[in-house]
């Protein structure tokens, strides 16, 4: 069993019009022979499968919020898992009698998605169970050495229940913090200190402003990777990276689709 963590950045783009070479936000964490998904933008299962990622090892899916650029690929991910069990004995043996939890802030969206899947071939009958789990503040997952803590943010305003979350992911001794989409860094800044990897969206924030804030606030983290790119990075990634590194140095990078990070 592998004890290391591998992060696969499968989609790096925000909810723009289709953009060459980039798909909507999705990443998967391969930890201890299990695969954990965080957001599931368009084509995530297609790109992951073609990259050789072991989809049948999927354990859980965590959705930060239910905008299309974060959830548009989820129905196809679940459909692909079902399809693999029908064409591969190995996939079937890994998934049979398993439970895949989908942690999602809005259960009604999951129910609508499931209704759509049931309209596909075979009524979406599976050898595994897909169970929705409501995301709330606090520790939402603690199994197999992986802990996920959720904290609501203000990307979708003030609501009851909260509909948008940031995540702190503890994979063994490694810590990953994922902003999700946020109104401001203050929404989740208490999660950042001690992170081995900080994943920060730039669909709503400029990279240089984020770096300047992190530096001024004295935040303690090892690496920063920007994802969920807005138009500034999509237009000039090299220039935006240069601005960011002028502030906090080489520990910052800009995600591309297919980027792999070993932790």
**40 forms bridges with which residues in the sheet?**
26
Question: Which structural domain, as residue segments, surrounds residue 144?
Answer: 5-262
- Is the pLDDT at 2 greater than 80? The verdict is no
Q: Kindly write down the DSSP assignment for every residue of 51-110, as one continuous string.
A: TT--GGGEEEEE-S---HHHHTTHHHHHHHHHHHHHH-HHHHHHHTT-EEEEEES-HHHH
Please state, rounded to an integer, the average pLDDT across all residues of the chain: 96
- Is the pLDDT at 3 greater than 80? The verdict is no
Rounded to whole angstroms, the Cα distance separating 224 from 16 reads 23
Confidence of residue 159 (pLDDT cuts 50, 70, 90): confident
More confident position, 1 or 190? 190
In the predicted model, what is the mean pLDDT of residues 48-65?
Answer: 98
Q: What is the pLDDT of residue 4?
A: 81
Indicate the length of the chain as a whole number: 263
Confidence of residue 47 (pLDDT cuts 50, 70, 90): very high
How many structural domains comprise the chain?
1
In the predicted model, what is the mean pLDDT of residues 81-110?
Answer: 97
Residue 180 DSSP one-character state: -
**CB-side neighbour CA atoms (13 Å) of 219:** 26
Residue 234 DSSP one-character state: H
- Is the pLDDT at 175 greater than 90? The verdict is yes
H/E stretch holding 244 reads helix 237-248
How much of the chain exceeds pLDDT 70, in percent? Answer: 99
Q: What is the pLDDT of residue 121?
A: 86
> Whole-model pTM?
0.97
CATH code at position 210 = 3.60.15.10
Q: What is the pLDDT of residue 196?
A: 98
Give 225-247 pLDDT, tens digit per residue. 999 999 999 999 999 999 999 99
In the predicted model, what is the mean pLDDT of residues 41-57?
Answer: 97
Cis preceding-peptide flag for 161 (omega within 30 of 0): yes
Q: Give CA 100 to chain center in angstroms.
A: 16
Task: Let me know: does 152 contact 164? Beta carbons within 8 Å.
Answer: yes
- Is the pLDDT at 1 greater than 50? The verdict is no
Nearest to 129 by CA among 114, 112, 149, 108: 114
In the predicted model, what is the mean pLDDT of residues 8-14?
Answer: 98
Task: Let me know: does 226 contact 202? Beta carbons within 8 Å.
Answer: yes
> Residue 42's CB: how many other CB atoms inside 10 A?
21
Residues with Cβ within 8 Å of residue 195, at least 6 apart in sequence: 168, 175, 176, 177, 220, 221, 222
- Helix, strand counts (H, E) of the chain: 8, 14
């Amino acid at each position: 069993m592998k004890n290391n963590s591998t992060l696969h950045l499968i989609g790096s783009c925000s909810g723009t019009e289709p953009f060459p070479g980039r798909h909507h936000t999705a990443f998967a964490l391969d930890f201890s022979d299990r695969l954990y998904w965080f957001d599931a933008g368009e084509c995530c299962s297609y790109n992951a499968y073609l990259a050789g990622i072991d989809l049948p090892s999927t354990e859980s899916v965590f959705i930060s919020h239910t905008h299309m650029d974060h959830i548009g690929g989820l129905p196809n991910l679940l459909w692909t898992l079902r399809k693999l069990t029908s064409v591969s004995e190995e996939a079937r043996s890994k998934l049979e009698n398993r439970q895949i939890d989908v942690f999602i802030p809005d259960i009604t969206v999951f129910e609508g998605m499931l209704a759509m899947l049931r309209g596909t071939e075979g009524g979406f009958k599976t050898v595994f169970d897909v169970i929705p789990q409501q995301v709330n503040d606090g520790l939402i997952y603690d199994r197999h050495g992986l802990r996920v803590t959720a904290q609501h943010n203000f990307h979708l305003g003030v609501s009851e229940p909260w509909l948008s979350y940031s995540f702190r992911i503890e994979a063994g001794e490694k810590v990953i913090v994922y902003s999700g989409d946020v109104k401001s860094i203050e929404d989740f800044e208490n999660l950042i200190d001690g992170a081995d990897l900080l994943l920060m969206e730039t669909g709503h924030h400029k990279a240089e402003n984020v770096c300047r804030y992190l530096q001024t606030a004295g935040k303690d983290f090892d690496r920063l990777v920007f994802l969920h790119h807005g138009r500034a990075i999509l237009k000039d990634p090299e220039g935006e990276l240069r601005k960011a590194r002028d502030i906090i140095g080489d520990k910052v990078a800009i995600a591309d689709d297919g980027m792999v990070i070993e932790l």
